[in-house]
Amino acid sequence: MISSPPEPVFLSRSGHSCIRDALTPVETAGSLDGRWVVPTRSTGGEQMSSRDGIASEGARVVARAVTVVCLAAILLPGCGKPKTGDPRLDLEPVQGFSLASAKFKPFKHRPTAKELYERMYALYSSFDSMAASQDTARHFPGHEWPAEHTEYRFRKPDKQLDCFSSGDFTDLDICNGKKRLRYDPAKNAYWPAKHMSPPDVEPPAEWLGVSPWAQALSSWSIKLRQDATVHGVPVYILAMRMKPGLTRREKITSFTRLVHIGQRDLLPRKIEKKTEQTDGTVDRSTITFSGIHADSPIPDRLFSTKPPSGSRPLRARKTGRKSYGLE
């Protein structure tokens, strides 16, 4: 049993302590719970003057404000991230789940895997627009993967924004049906059109990994597992296992997905992936959705393919006898 709680340490996104520099832990008499107060000079056993009391109380108020700000920078996605002034790069993560005007026919009984999957595909295909945010955590023996975050915006028929970030790397990819922009904020540089594939979009159903039932069955074995909850939300669980011989790499022996789908809106909350290889290693990853908003208004400026102000085109460089990269 732990006799006392560990000393709390709060780190900002830059890795520096937000609270420890300003606050000191003090044990509350008769309790194991600690509270944070601003260190004050000793009173030598004498009663503090009203001025000292006001100053001390004021310092406590400041300390609480610092605590709130630092916790917000840690816990809220995107909080504390410097703004660029470009709305395509200053996206706020989507929070919560909403179908807005989109509708689906509710089940009168517990659905089969086929009924659930087909209802999901019909619903996602009906979206005129969609905004979503997801975080991916990967677990591979012997390797540490940085957390991944993706922002997705889509509007029919052919407008899409996809912003992927992992560690210090960010890749912004925008298609507007006619042109495509791919931009690297770290280098403040964009891919020249001649080095990119033609504009292509992933509609919501495709982006969420759902295809027509017959097409899905050609690659996957799909079963409905026992219901569960995710953050208090009742969910269906679809277990999808890729059929033998269809994995993209020879070293992979099996690939499975557990898709947790909200029962009230059929929107995914979590996807657990598991990859087994011939040498016995297992690669696991968990995709968690913080929010999905269907049929939500998305401004045109997010789909602009004009390179950000002051950016430059990446230059081609030869990386091998016949292959080229960009720098």
Which residues constitute the domain of residue 166? 96-317
Specify the range with the lowest mean pLDDT, choosing from 39-53, 79-93, 233-247.
39-53
Residues 193 and 266 in one domain: yes
pLDDT at 320: 53
Residues 24 and 121 in one domain: no
**Which CATH number characterizes residue 128's domain?**
2.50.20.10
Residues 164 and 305 in one domain: yes
Residues 248 and 193 in one domain: yes
pTM: 0.71
Q: Tens of pLDDT along 4-55?
A: 333 333 333 333 333 223 333 333 333 333 333 333 333 344 444 444 554 5
The H-or-E segment that residue 249 falls in is: none
Q: What average pLDDT score do residues 133-153 get?
A: 91
- Pick the closest to residue 16 from 100, 94, 80, 112 (CA basis): 80
Residues 39 and 111 in one domain: no
| Domain-ending residue, one of 75, 108, 130 | 75
Q: What average pLDDT score do residues 175-190 get?
A: 91
Count of structural domains within the chain:
2
Residue at 82 is within a domain: no
Residue at 83 is within a domain: no
- Structure tokens that stand for 248 in this block: 């993209």
Report d(CA 315, CA 327) in Å as an integer.
Answer: 5
Residues 18 and 113 in one domain: no
Residue at 261 is within a domain: yes
- In this predicted structure, the answer to whether residue 199 has a pLDDT above a threshold of 50 is yes
Q: What percent of the chain has pLDDT over 90?
A: 52
Residues 100 and 68 in one domain: no
pLDDT at 245: 67
| Sequence-separated contacts (24+) of 31-38 with Cβ below 8 Å | 32/3, 32/4, 32/5, 33/5, 34/5, 34/7, 34/8, 36/8, 36/63, 36/67, 37/63, 38/62, 38/63
In whole angstroms, what separates CA 253 from the centre of its chain? Answer: 28
Average model confidence (pLDDT) across the chain: 77
Residues 64 and 141 in one domain: no
Residue pair 201/225 in contact (Cβ under 8 Å)? The answer is no
Residues 54 and 160 in one domain: no
pLDDT band at 1 (very low <50, low <70, confident <90, very high): very low
